[in-house]
Structure 1
Amino acid sequence: MLELAKGKDLLAPSANGDGRSSVPTVGHNGHAAERAERAIARALAARSGPRAWWRAVRILWTLGWLALYLFLDSYDVRARYSQRLTTRLHAEARARGRIAVFKSWARSFGRRVADLVIRIARFLIFRGPDGSPRKEARLERQARWLKNELIALGPTFIKIGQALGTRADLLPLAYIREFETLQDQVPPFSSAEAYATIERELGRPLFRAYAEIEAEPLAAASLGQVYRARLHTGEEVAVKVQRPHLEETIGFDIAVLRWIVRWLARYPHFSENADWSGMLDEFTRTIFDEMDYVREAHNADRFRANFESWRAVYVPKIYWTHTTHRVLTMEFIRGTKVTDLEALRARHISPVKVNRLLVRTYLKQLLEDGFFHADPHPGNLLVMEDGRLAFFDFGMTGRIAPKLQSMMVDAFFHVINREISELANDLFKLEFLKPGYDPETIRPVIERLFEKHLNLKLGEVNFKELTYELADVVYAYPFRLPSNFTYIMRALMTLEGIGLVTDPEFNFFDTAKPYAKELVLRREGRELRRMLFDKALRRNGDGRIEWDRVWKLAKWAAKTYLAK
């Protein structure tokens, strides 16, 4: 810890003259989209010439190789679907006559030629057959190269890599392992620049702001880095400082990404199963929100208020006198990572119980609060000495509109009650199906998938097999991920990864069921029983009450309160 020497304050302490930094209200800071557009315009005006073109080429080069690697790695799934499609088209052509058969054969010949070219390219790029024992080493080599390229490209692409590191449904396991290191192995920037930012933002010399501050950062992340310090009043704090020139860098990168997305939109095949434009807009809003530390501090206060009655959940205190848009000072917390199983057991803390507490907090966030921590990776979660679960880093949060939340609650109840047919309807309502398709044609496929996988524990799931099975469905049917689910899915996939480490026997639905029952009862009471009669009881068209649902709700209430 570097103890700061006392001296004369040469800078004005703050604009308001009381020694505190001015902090705007949440309302002043709630226009991330507008801020993003201004930053992008400034970045394009400031960056021009050979250096800008060279950066754009590097971005295209890295993302192009990433896309090619993923395409070739998953090509067998596409090829199997193409083969089944060809067989079906041949059968249909035979029923229409010889000319149709000839046209079908010609099309299939073109597909076979393309298949041969792709397999030759894969053999040359992967330096051998894909099924060889060297495949894992090849994947690790690719993953290391890609990770280093993302780090070299800077904050925007480190963020993208962190997001990809949670997507076991998209990437090979070797990529996941390598990209996960982006959470806590990002190179730091110089402490001299960090100290200059602190003095400029707080409007006072470093020794006036903090009695002590460490010379080296504790951790470096994509957008900033953290120092341990001590206030003059004695409190130990963590000080997060934003990287220099961040808005300009990210603004330019997003402009390049928008150009790529517009180019992809001209080829619908590339965007069949993802709303790339919507996802990029969501990413842009989120990352500009995350760059505003005042907003992050307000998010932390809101999260703390939401969990005020949960003694097992803790959010560090924000020191507003030392917080601005680019510097955030909060209470310093010591604890153990949720995935450090040995350390937890040494402290007689059950990793299984920690994992189940974490899941319950997310059920509350998603289904009750409509406000959730969108980045629950292990670096942002600590188990404190007294066993409480501490949440950090509220820069990336999600908000769920009431209508969407109501549909999600419906889907959640249907999952808990194993109402498979209703769950298929929920997917359609939530727009996981592209518009213009008849839901009834794919309802049997959805119901079969849910029936097969709904009751499995994490340890029983063969994720490679499930990924291929889902990929077959995605290619064969008009599914896509709606943009408003981008960060919900990110959070859930990250939680799943933590669950795999801490409790392979974990069954999400067994853990969720008691909370679901409590949620039903709380919602019914809070909405003056309107939901009780209109939704939970579901009156039939002739006015009769479904008494079996009344009985089920009564049993839920009895079991819930007797269990306490």
Structure 2
Amino acid sequence: MSNTPDKIRRYYKFIRFMLKYWNSDLFRKTSSVAINGNISEDDEEHQFDQTPEELVEDLKAMGPTYIKLGQLLSTRPDLLPDEYLNALANLQDNVSPVPFNEVQSIIEKELGTKISKAFNSFEEKPLASASIGQVHRAELRSGKPVAVKVQRPGITKQFLEDLDTLDELTAMAVRHLETAKTYAIDEVFAELRRILLNELDYKKEAQNLKRLKRNLAQYDHLIIPAPVDDYSSSRVLTMEFVSGKKITSLSPLRQMENDFSELVEELVEAYLQQIINDGFAHADPHPGNIKFTDDNQIALIDLGMVARFSPQLQENLIELLLAISQSNGEKTAQTLLKMSELDEQSEKKRFTKTVTDVIMESENSLAKDLQTGRILIQLNRLALTTHIKLPVEINILGKILLNLDQIVALLDPEFDLRRAIKRNVHEIMRKKMLAELKPENFFGTLIESKHFLEQMPGRMNRITENLANNEFKLKIDAIDEKRVTDGFQKVANRITLGLIIAAMIVGASMLMQVPSDFQIFGYPGLAMIFFLLAAAGAIILSYVIVFRDENLTNKK
């Protein structure tokens, strides 16, 4: 894919970055947390060698792939302190725009027509310019205003080369470094590759826009721009233009003049709907991806990153969100443990106690306290220190709720997010259960029941026939049959040997009473031979039991 000098430069760039942070207090601190699970009280106020701002600038200098890596790391609270997570969460990849002649060439190649024929007008100056692509405002022949996202030339090749480099280096690190294994950095980079490859394909983002728009059609105050299929491809995405500003630019005067409580309620319900009902959620609702329109509506404008939750996980998340909203720490801990991977090092009691304390301490928090998402991030970090592996979706959910906390705090600082979660979860559950009672949802069950009833007579006939002929067999895989059989045989052999030794001793004692010319040590010789054989057998049997028996050896 690339020549050797380019590959050497990529290796050099990455290794230089790692050497800078490898010996820093920041890395040593996070390594200690990952390996030992211990955070000293002094570390909470620790000033690390590199500031969060310096880390952000270093990632920007590394290029677009590493900028995306930094954004992904902001969803891993188990790896970095809070101030670094916040800096990475706000990491923006504004770069110099691509010259318009290159943009024009890409559009015309992808759409197969001249830009002047496809659009009434097309603004040469982009509205925004990022590492993967840039956005231009345009107008279709129908007069409809649109936003056109155009991918940078050569960006796919650059990302794939960087990802190949990261794959090779992380695989090497996991093989040779215990810290790399503890961090599971190969899994982190595998997730990065998946996300990046999806973001590089604008067709997938167009599908995400359509699906989210369909799922949230009932919410009047939420806007998801629809893609224009005829003007889109894997490198060009044309969608409805939404006029508005970043939600962070909302003026204090506008906040005072308007009551946004209804809008906030709808936004919270919509995100809960995505997470626990649809299983498909906008995974990156940071303020930069949220527009606030002039008529007080909210637009979700970037669907490059989405999260998917399986039906089983949705049920667990319902229990989790309800437990948190009810300030039930013990139930929260039990739900998290049910979802987690545990081993012999897992400290379930300590985890449960600490989770209960965390939930109780934040019982009366409001939106301005930014507690809901922060609690999940805190629980993720706690799970790491107690050797409990939570599913990655909990990290994603924590990130979503943390961003949602920020937006809600901007619009309505006194909003009670916990009460809203409790109220909306119950309502969404009710709607979900009603939807599952629809006739079309029973078709699958009816088909399975039909197959069951059709096959039942034949199966019952075979079972009763086997029972009548004494051929019914029950196979149990819960135990190792060979091991059990060998164990019984070993016990039987030892009992038999013990009986033989006992018989030899009894026989020797009886022979002691019979006079004989053949003597050993002044005793009847035959009796002494049997006695010595019995003694030798007893010693050997005792040695085998004490020193060679598998269970006793393991206990030592």
TM-score between both structures, scaled by the size of structure 1: 0.68
Q: Is the 8 A contact 1:336 1:344 kept in 2?
A: no
The correspondence of residues 1-150 of structure 1 with structure 2, limited to 5 A, is: 46-66=1-21, 68=24, 70-71=26-27, 142-150=51-59
CA distance in 2, matches of 1:411, 1:383: 30
Deviation at 1:324, TM superposition (A): 0.6
- What is the aligned partner in structure 1 of residue 447 from structure 2? none
The correspondence of residues 185-224 of structure 1 with structure 2, limited to 5 A, is: 185-224=94-133
The correspondence of residues 155-234 of structure 1 with structure 2, limited to 5 A, is: 155-164=64-73, 171=80, 175=84, 178-179=87-88, 182-183=91-92, 185-234=94-143
Match of 2:352 among 436, 440, 443: 443
Structure 1 residue 367 corresponds to structure 2 residue 323: no
Gaps of 5+ in 2: 440-556
SS at 1:523 equivalent: helix
Structure 1 residue 306 corresponds to structure 2 residue 236: no
CA distance in 2, matches of 1:275, 1:327: 35
Structure 1 residue 515 corresponds to structure 2 residue 471: no
- What is the aligned partner in structure 2 of residue 391 from structure 1? 300
Deviation at 1:495, TM superposition (A): 2.3
Q: 1:293 to 1:367 in 2, by over 3 A?
A: same
Deviation at 1:327, TM superposition (A): 0.3
Structure 1 residue 293 corresponds to structure 2 residue 248: no
Deviation at 1:452, TM superposition (A): 2.6
Q: 1:265 to 1:373 in 2, by over 3 A?
A: same
- What is the aligned partner in structure 1 of residue 335 from structure 2? 426
Alignment size in residue pairs = 437
Q: Is the 8 A contact 2:31 2:179 kept in 1?
A: no
CA distance in 2, matches of 1:194, 1:416: 49
CA distance in 1, matches of 2:87, 2:347: 41
Deviation at 1:382, TM superposition (A): 1.3
Moved more, 337-346 or 306-315: 337-346
Task: Give the aligned CA root-mean-square deviation in angstroms.
Answer: 3.8
CA distance in 2, matches of 1:357, 1:368: 15
SS at 1:183 equivalent: coil
Q: 1:70 to 1:356 in 2, by over 3 A?
A: farther
CA distance in 2, matches of 1:340, 1:256: 39
Q: Larger Cα Rg: Structure 1 or Structure 2?
A: 2
- What is the aligned partner in structure 2 of residue 491 from structure 1? 400
Runs of 4+ in structure 1 deviating by more than 6 angstroms, as ranges, are 73-81, 129-132, 166-169, 465-472
Deviation at 1:199, TM superposition (A): 0.9
Which residue identity does 1:203 align to in structure 2?
Answer: G
CA distance in 1, matches of 2:182, 2:400: 20
CA distance in 2, matches of 1:529, 1:438: 44
Gaps of 5+ in 1: 1-45, 85-118, 120-128, 531-564
Q: 1:433 to 1:234 in 2, by over 3 A?
A: same
What are the superposed Cα offsets for residues 184-235 of structure 1, whole Å, 9 maximum, x if unpaired? Answer: 6333232222211111101112211212111221101231110011112211
Which residue identity does 2:278 align to in structure 1?
Answer: D
Deviation at 1:303, TM superposition (A): 0.7
Q: 1:412 to 1:495 in 2, by over 3 A?
A: same
Q: Is the 8 A contact 1:427 1:433 kept in 2?
A: no
Match of 2:288 among 371, 379, 401: 379
- Work out the percentage of aligned pairs sharing the same amino acid: 29
Q: Is the 8 A contact 1:290 1:395 kept in 2?
A: yes
Q: Is the 8 A contact 1:275 1:481 kept in 2?
A: no
- What is the aligned partner in structure 2 of residue 98 from structure 1? none
Deviation at 1:402, TM superposition (A): 1.3
TM-score between both structures, scaled by the size of structure 2: 0.68
Q: 1:514 to 1:181 in 2, by over 3 A?
A: closer
The correspondence of residues 225-374 of structure 1 with structure 2, limited to 5 A, is: 225-266=134-175, 269-271=178-180, 274-342=183-251, 345=254, 348-350=257-259, 353-374=262-283
SS at 2:248 equivalent: coil
- What is the aligned partner in structure 2 of residue 548 from structure 1? none
Q: Which has the bigger relative contact order, CA under 8 A and spacing at least 6?
A: 1
Moved more, 162-171 or 237-246: 162-171
